Amino acid sequence: MATSSKTAPVILAALWLLACSAAAGEPRLFRDFVFGMPKSELLELPDIYDCSADFGEDGWLCLPDGGDTFANTGVEVAFALIDDSLFSVTLATEFSDQKYVDFIAALSSRHELIAVSASQGVLDLLVEARNAGGDQAAYTKRLADFERQALQEGNVSYTFVARSWLQSPSAAGAQNAVELFGRMGPDGRVVELSAAEGEYADEAFLTVRFTLPKMLETMIANKAQQDDDF
């Protein structure tokens, strides 16, 4: 699709700003969107708008449907900010079986699934793998049964971490997902894929949320300290 002479420079300028931020070594959330990116840089993106009213709280910017892509699917993008600094990126699209399969495949290419959450609780896959004692069939059945029930109830979330980090010495020997998260460094990224029913009976959505939990903890702690300094 051709861009107008007015639009093209705006897009190029926005991409240049994002590329410069990423090149500076800031921890990456999604693509070139990095943790702590200033709101002023995000506002350079074409079609971005304040969507705080949709979330019922301040600190949200959004790109409309098709504002970006994931697994060859156009998605809406929501940026969450604290004190005008980016801390998470969420992609959203209407649910379909094919998108569900494609999104899991895309994440699984470089990430490992470590937990599945639903109304019936959390299935810690590190614990399940240890309990299975090498019985792959038993492990797979346990995961499939949990997932099937969660999907029938209309709400399930999958938590992924980078495979490269999971195979590092820092993660070695972790007994469960909670311990694994505790060992994460500041640049440890967590990706959560969720499938959930919408407000109406025939409505369902897929979301993919990218966060850096340790850096977010620090950001929140710093904000609390600043709020106390009056």
Q: pLDDT tens across 172-225, in order? A: 889 999 999 999 988 899 999 999 987 766 789 999 999 999 999 988 988 887
Q: Domain map of the chain by residue range?
A: 1-87, 95-230
Question: Mean pLDDT across the chain, nearest whole number?
Answer: 86
pLDDT of residue 201: 60
Residue 11, token pair as written in the block: 């897009």
How far apart CA 216 and CA 6 sit, in angstroms, is 37
Q: Which residues pair with 77 in a beta bridge?
A: 63, 91
Q: Is the pLDDT at 3 greater than 60, yes or no?
A: no
Q: Is the pLDDT at 1 greater than 80, yes or no?
A: no
Q: Is the pLDDT at 9 greater than 50, yes or no?
A: no
Q: Is the pLDDT at 26 greater than 80, yes or no?
A: no
The residue-averaged pLDDT of 56-62 equals 95
How far apart CA 83 and CA 227 sit, in angstroms, is 11
Lowest mean pLDDT among 14-18, 108-112, 222-226: 14-18
pLDDT of residue 55: 92
Q: Is the pLDDT at 2 greater than 70, yes or no?
A: no
Q: What percent of the chain has pLDDT over 70?
A: 86
The residue-averaged pLDDT of 131-150 equals 91
pTM over 0.85: no
pLDDT of residue 96: 93
Instruction: Pick the more confident residue, 145 or 10.
Output: 145
pLDDT of residue 153: 87
* pLDDT confidence bin for 106, thresholds 50/70/90: very high
The residue-averaged pLDDT of 115-126 equals 94
pLDDT of residue 154: 86
Q: Is the pLDDT at 17 greater than 50, yes or no?
A: no
3-state secondary structure the chain: CCCCCCHHHHHHHHHHHHHHHHHCCCCEEECCEECCCEHHHHCCCCCCEECHHHHCCCCEEEEEEEEEEECCEEEEEEEEEECCEEEEEEEEEECCHHHHHHHHHHHHCCEEEEEEEECCEEEEHHHHHHHHCCCHHHHHHHHHHHHHHHHHHCEEEEEEEEHHHHCCCCCCCCCCHHHHHHCCCCCCCEEEEEEEECCCCCCEEEEEEEECHHHHHHHHHHHHHHHHCC
For 81-91, the pLDDT digits (tens) are 999 999 999 99
| Contact residues for 43 (Cβ-Cβ < 8 A; gap 6+) | 61
* pLDDT confidence bin for 30, thresholds 50/70/90: very high
